[in-house]
Amino acid sequence: MLESFGAELELRQMALGDYQLSGRLILERKTRADFESSIVDGRLFRQARELSSNFQRLVIIVEGSADSESRLSREALLGAYSSLISDFGCALFFTRSCSATAEVIYALAKHEQLAKRQELAVYAKKKALTLPEQQRAIVEALPGVGPKMARALLEYFQTVENVMTAPESELREVEKMGEKKARQLREVLTKRYKER
């Protein structure tokens, strides 16, 4: 749907959010059922805290018909909306369908990227990270490396520099690294950069 509006998309797994529309704006899309479940289990507010601490602007789109019966009382929903807006500076949109959601996403992206001419960063810059968090963030940016693997690599090699310069044979020594992942890492770190 976004492509039908003329949007150019880059598909990739993101650590935070569903759609990064600029270096400063992140968007989370939830169905009504998922939105309500995430209120009940507290996930919504953890996500909002993480997103708002890493991006200047946070938008949450809640998609689906309001006619369906809610699991939560009106008071609980209003409390959640209030918290998102006042505690996390979140903009909330409610849409009835995928196509309506796509329209909102496209309009926001167009404003951020064309009207404001903001270049899209490859990774969001996290604010106020501690040194260990910065070190893990650098290592997590490597292909196939999540939070657990980043910790394992840093514990094994002690420094980011040692991780980056380790030979493939030594990378394979790290638990759950494996031959394929070790080869991928060395390729990313040693191949000459070409834009296209």
CATH number of domain containing 167? 1.10.150.20
pLDDT in tens, 145-183: 877 888 889 999 999 999 899 888 898 888 888 888 888
Query: Are β-strands 19-20 and 25-31 bridged in parallel, bridged antiparallel, or unpaired?
Result: antiparallel
> Residue 117 pLDDT > 70, yes or no?
no
Secondary structure element (H or E) that encloses residue 57, with its range:
strand 57-63
- How many independent structural domains does the chain possess? 2
Considering the chain, what is the average pLDDT of its residues? 85
Would you state the pLDDT for residue 23?
Answer: 82
Q: Do 84 and 135 have their domain in common?
A: no
Q: Do 57 and 141 have their domain in common?
A: no
Q: Do 141 and 108 have their domain in common?
A: no
Q: Do 98 and 154 have their domain in common?
A: no
Residue 191 lies in a domain: no
Work out the pLDDT band at 103, boundaries 50, 70, 90: very high
Of the three residues 82, 115, 148, the one that is the final residue of a domain is: 115
Domain with 60, as residue range(s), is 3-115
Work out the pLDDT band at 56, boundaries 50, 70, 90: confident
How many other C-beta atoms lie within 10 A of the C-beta of residue 7? 14
Would you state the pLDDT for residue 94?
Answer: 94
Would you state the pLDDT for residue 44?
Answer: 93
